[in-house]
Amino acid sequence: MDIEPHQLYAVTAGMVFCMSLAGVFLCRHFFQKIIAINMLGASIFLLLVSIGARDEDGFPDPVPHAMVITGLVVAVSASAFALGLARRIHRTTGRTGFSDTE
């Protein structure tokens, strides 16, 4: 069975998505969570690009690319905000993650 490159990307994207989703819920450390959410984003962008590339004639679909660029901007600002907030919590309370008892 032949696997097209974009299908390979799509499968990889799905795997990364599931792994990082598990990571978001399993990790306690703020930083780990932020990384996991970023990977979640990355897997979606990968899938988008693979959808954009599936055209037989080789002309990439521009809409997914526009979505990836916008999505990246949003992801960067969200990560920055989350990091800032996490640092502020660390400064005020000394905590680095959500405690298990909550």
Partner 1 sequence: MISNSSKLLSMLPIVLPLIGALLCFVIPPRWRSFIGLLFSWSTLAACFGLVWLLATRGLTEHHLGGWEAPLGIRLRIDGLAGVFLVLTGMVGVPVGHFAMSFFKQKQPASRGVPFFWPLWLFLWASLNGIFLSADLFNLYVLLEIMGLAAVSLAILSGKAAALLAGLRYFFAALVGSMLYLMGVVLAYGSAGTLDLGLLGASLPAESITVRIAFALMMAGLLIKTALFPLHFWLPEAHSSAEAPVSAILSALVVKASFYLILRLWVEVFDGSVTFAAAQALGALGGVAAVWGSYQALRQTQLKRMVAHSTVGQIGYLFLIFPLITLSPGWEGEAPWLTSAWTAGIYQALAHGFAKSAMFLAVGIFVLAVGSDDKSSVLNMVGRLPMTTFAFALAGTSLIGLPPSGGFVAKWMLLKATFSSGQWWWAPLIVWGSFLTAGYVFMILRLSFAPSEAAPVKALNPVPKTLEVTALALGIGAILIGFRAEEVMSLLEIASPFAESVQPVTEEGGHD
Sign of CA dihedral 73, 76, 82, 83: negative
Binding mask 20-49 for partner 1 (x = CB under 8 A): -x--x-----x--x---x--xx-xx--xx-
Among 11, 70, 76, 96, binds partner 1 (CB under 8 A): 70
Which of 4, 5, 19, 77 touches partner 1 by CB under 8 A? 77
Q: Which two tokens stand for residue 21?
A: 């989703």
The answer to whether residue 51 forms part of the interface with partner 1 (CB under 8 A) is: yes
User: Which residues are at the interface with partner 1 (CB under 8 A)?
Assistant: 17, 21, 24, 30, 33, 37, 40-41, 43-44, 47-48, 51, 63-64, 67, 70-71, 74, 77-78, 81-82, 85-86, 88-89, 92-93, 95, 98
